Amino acid sequence: MAYQLQRLRELIERHPERAGSLMLHIEALEQSIERLPLTSLSHVRTMFEAAHGSVAGPLKIVFGEKDSFPQKNRAIIKALDLALDGHPDAEKIEKQLKALLGSMNGAASALAELSNISGMRHGGALDLPTLERQHAYMLGGLCDALVSFLLDTAWSRPNEQNRATLGPFYDDEPDFNESLDSEYALVEIAGSVFTPSTALFRLDPTQYEAARDEWRLASDDLIKDSEAA
């Protein structure tokens, strides 16, 4: 069975409207792990860098021109909202979760150092040993877990700009949105992918509300029929 980055693939299914070219990066890394392990480090580094660029906007991070790879990773972890809303010890929980993520900073630093060693990512003599498949599997697993976590955490909580675009009540209709998304196909335009519910809401909010009201009536009728039975 071919190696797959399962968590990243699942992430695309949950956030298809934000995934962009993520699948291209996933497939490139998967193929390198299976066929050319010596190139896997380069693809992992590229995946992390793409993730940094993708979450910087939603997290309102402005990287410095000379920020290193580990510095960018630290800035992202600091900006992540890890609090469990509604829990009386939300601040303590967030503090400890970020402490656990300190290992991610260590991994990013080690990855940066490793990728700068001659022959690991570029350069080096032709007779130097290179990364083998077991190394590629380790790097792939690391990338799958950490990059999917960064993206999922940043994408799961809409930023202020997205809320302003969608409106305050879009997020209040998760069941209706899910019903639309399960009934209709994803909308793809010039390489960007949108869920049916967000596309309808943005392009025709009046029809969105009409469809929502009709869905509510149908749901109420189903409840009444089941109660009568």
Residues in contact with 173: Cβ distance below 8 Å, sequence separation at least 6, in sequence order? 212
- Whether the pLDDT of residue 159 is over 60: the answer is no
Q: What pLDDT digit, counting tens, does each position of 62-121 carry?
A: 888 888 888 888 888 888 888 787 788 888 888 888 888 777 778 878 888 888 888 887
**Burial track 12-36 (b if 16+ CB lie within 10 A, e otherwise):** beebbebbbebeebbebbbebbbee
Domain borders along the chain are 6-157, 162-228
Q: At what angle do helices 174-183 and 196-203 cross, to 10 degrees?
A: 110
pTM of the model: 0.66
